[in-house]
Structure 1
Amino acid sequence: MNPLTEQELHQLAMNIVGKEMEELGFEFLSINSKPKKDPQFVALKDKYLHFVVVRAVRYPANPVQYDQAFMNKMRDHAVKYKARAYYAGVGIANSKNYEIPVHHDEDYTVNFAGLIEIK
């Protein structure tokens, strides 16, 4: 059994966040699935532009904690476009044992608190 790669974990996080955004009524304008190529989602909702940074977070790191300086830069970038900036950290862990990596064809646990607006 081989563990999921960083790209695969990121893609999983992107799918989780994208589905949540769809359910919330966001209209996607641009999607970038490359890790650290920010923002991952540029979307429209209620006539406002939204920039969303997605991060896959491995246990034991806390998925709601983010790099404040980086996200402040992203917020400033969003403001130039009259957009709102969000962080979406998705905690992903092996459901049998949080201490071991998530492997292909194994169950995993998701810890996603939703979009966190950076103000």
Structure 2
Amino acid sequence: MGLLTEQQLHNLAMNVVGKDLEDLGYEFLAVNSKKSKNPQFVATKAKKMVFVVVRAVTYPDNPVIYNEELLQKVSKHATSFEAKTFYAGVGIANSISYELPVDSEEDYVLNYSGLIEIK
């Protein structure tokens, strides 16, 4: 197997955030697993729509720090749908040593603080 690709890391992050959204009671209207297409999730709960941008973040980068310009662009688009915008960064690291790349043969640790609302 070997090292996880950017897309595999992104898919892992998508699974974490998708499960969180389900647990929070959201229903999915659209899911886009391509990192280059934003938002990754469009979901609804109690007739309120949300746009969620998902990023897999590898050590030493901080998963709660996001691209302000990108998120403002998505937020502006969401406003036309009366939707709120959230960022969901999922930190992923090799559990043996954070310095090592994430490998499919080894355990990994996740650092996910939940949805961060973009205002």
For normalisation by structure 2, the TM-score amounts to: 0.97
| 1:49 matches 2:46 | no
Who is 1:33 aligned against? 33
- The residue correspondences of 1:36-115 to structure 2 (distance < 5 A) are 36-115=36-115
Q: Percent identity of the aligned residues?
A: 60
Match for 2:31: what amino acid?
I
Deviation at 1:2, TM superposition (A): 1.6
Q: Aligned partners of 1:86, 1:35: CA distance in 2, in Å? A: 15
Q: Aligned partners of 1:100, 1:36: CA distance in 2, in Å? A: 25
Q: Aligned partners of 1:46, 1:117: CA distance in 2, in Å? A: 17
Q: Once superposed, which parts of structure 1, at least 4 consecutive aligned residues long, lie more than 3 Å away? A: none
In structure 2, list runs of 5 or more residues that go unmatched.
Answer: none
Query: Secondary structure, in 3 states, of the residue corresponding to 1:75?
Result: helix
In structure 1, list runs of 5 or more residues that go unmatched.
Answer: none
Greater shift, 97-106 or 53-62, is seen at 97-106
Match for 2:77: what amino acid?
H
After superposition, give the CA deviation of every residue in 1:5-35 in whole Å (9 maximum; x if it has no partner): 0010000000000001100000001100011
Query: Secondary structure, in 3 states, of the residue corresponding to 1:70?
Result: helix
For normalisation by structure 1, the TM-score amounts to: 0.97
Deviation at 1:36, TM superposition (A): 1.9
Q: Aligned partners of 2:105, 2:18: CA distance in 1, in Å? A: 22
After superposition, give the CA deviation of every residue in 1:63-105 in whole Å (9 maximum; x if it has no partner): 0000111111111110011101000000000001000111113
